[in-house]
Amino acid sequence: MGGCVVAYIVVGVLAALGSVLKGTEGARAFFVFGDSLVDNGNNNYLATTARADSPPYGIDFPTRRPTGRFSNGFNIPDFISRELGAESTLPYLSPELNGERLLVGANFASAGIGILNDTGIQFVNIIRIFRQLQYFQQYQQRVSALIGAGEAQRLVNEALVLITLGGNDFVNNYYLVPFSARSRQFALPDYVKYLISEYKKILRRLYDLGARRVLVTGTGPLGCVPAELAMRSRNGECSAELQRAASLFNPQLVQMISQLNSEIGSDVFIGANTQQMNNDFINNPRRYVACCGQGPYNGLGLCTVASNLCPNRDVYAFWDPFHPSEKANGLIVQQIMSGNADYMHPMNLSTALALDMAKASSLNH
């Protein structure tokens, strides 16, 4: 018991140190990989239907204009950048991402993608995860030309990386249509095992490309998003099958992260239980209704200027039929920063940042 008390004291000190050091973390680069939960505009540059570049998207963003984020305002990477004391990363495809701005990092995420390459095929021209990793290599070459290979490698090794994958492998693949190819190939438990094994390869590839501090988010409550309620729910209950998928996927993701860290010999990967974070926030009267949409739960179709639009986005967990509101994104990042073991494994991000800062400080002396 005494050991536990000491451990909690150490964690508390490190978390406090993290908040003190937040302002000096600005020099740390930040890289983002994944899907629409973290895409901040790459799909604007692609011929795809998976876009968020028209109103009312961005209605609460500082510019009041759509940016390509699937949100009324900031998304999860924006709030993490703020915690790092840095400006938001630019989409990798943005022509503005050059020169000194490359040193801030880059966002490679693309709405519609999944762990598997056949996920989101209906969106056609999106940046699948293997291509995002190729762009990461290309980025490193560009930065090497700017500051030299050694400094570029150090920038990448010392960076924070966020990766968000998995949700689309269920809603835009396995459950996209009845009797989908993947659902005929795999029973759900076997499909989840396959996804986890493929995800492990992706994370290992990130490590091989130089990532040394990687935040990995699980899926949200897939069966409770307004789009699924509109299609599957009779009395407002969440889809049991999709909730089962999330409850199988998320614990196995944590197990895989622990295994991968053990193989590497360091806690490179940190798992975030975003399903539990979402569950906490959506436990209110408007929990399952989208702010922007139409039909039952505002869960049908796209969010457009013709959609129903709520006046107070801050009391809604969901902005559109699939994506969290800015308010929910901010609360999720608060838990990522300071959540306990129910939410973060093996540590929260404040603790990880503080450990990294202490390590960097010892190397400099």
| Cβ contacts of 363 within 8 Å, gap of 6 or more | none
Kindly provide the residue ranges of all beta strands, DSSP E only, lying in the chain, ordered along the sequence. 30-34, 105-107, 160-164, 214-217, 269-272, 292-293, 308-309, 344-345
- What does the pLDDT read at residue 288? 83
pLDDT per residue, tens digit, the chain (365 aa), is: 444 433 333 333 333 333 333 333 346 999 999 999 999 999 999 999 999 999 999 999 999 999 999 999 999 999 999 999 999 999 999 999 999 999 999 999 999 999 999 999 999 999 999 999 999 999 999 999 999 999 999 999 999 999 999 999 999 999 999 999 999 999 999 999 999 999 999 999 999 999 999 999 999 889 999 999 999 888 888 899 999 999 999 999 999 999 999 999 999 999 998 877 766 666 654 578 999 999 999 999 989 999 999 999 999 999 999 999 999 999 999 999 999 998 999 999 999 999 998 887 777 65
CA nearest to 81, candidates 40, 50, 45: 40
The secondary element (H helix, E strand) that includes residue 164 is: strand 160-164
CB 198 within 8 A of CB 115: yes
Give me the residue spans of the domains in the chain: 23-363
- What does the pLDDT read at residue 282? 61
pTM beyond 0.85: the answer is yes
Structure-block tokens of residue 153 = 């490698």
Active-site residue among 81, 110, 323, 356? Answer: 323
314 is an active site residue: no
CA nearest to 113, candidates 45, 69, 169: 169
Active-site residue among 39, 78, 320, 356? Answer: 320
| Cβ contacts of 84 within 8 Å, gap of 6 or more | 22, 25, 26, 28, 30, 160, 353
Structure-block tokens of residue 158 = 């010392």
- Alpha carbon dihedral 318, 108, 197, 182, in 10-degree steps, equals 60
- What does the pLDDT read at residue 116? 98
In our burial notation (b when 16+ CB lie closer than 10 A, e otherwise), range 234-270 reads eeeebbeebbebbbbbbebbbebbeebbeeeeebbbb
Q: What's the CA gap between 144 and 134, in Å, rounded?
A: 15
Question: Pairing state of beta strands 105-107 and 30-34?
Answer: parallel
36 is an active site residue: yes
- What does the pLDDT read at residue 132? 98
Give, as one character, the DSSP assignment of residue 270.
E
β-strand partners of 216:
163, 271
CB 12 within 8 A of CB 62: no
Domain 23-363 class in CATH: alpha beta
**C-alpha 136: how far from chain center:** 17
Give, as one character, the DSSP assignment of residue 88.
P
365 is an active site residue: no
What residue has token string 């926030």?
281
Kindly provide the residue ranges of all beta strands, DSSP E only, lying in 78-159, ordered along the sequence. 105-107
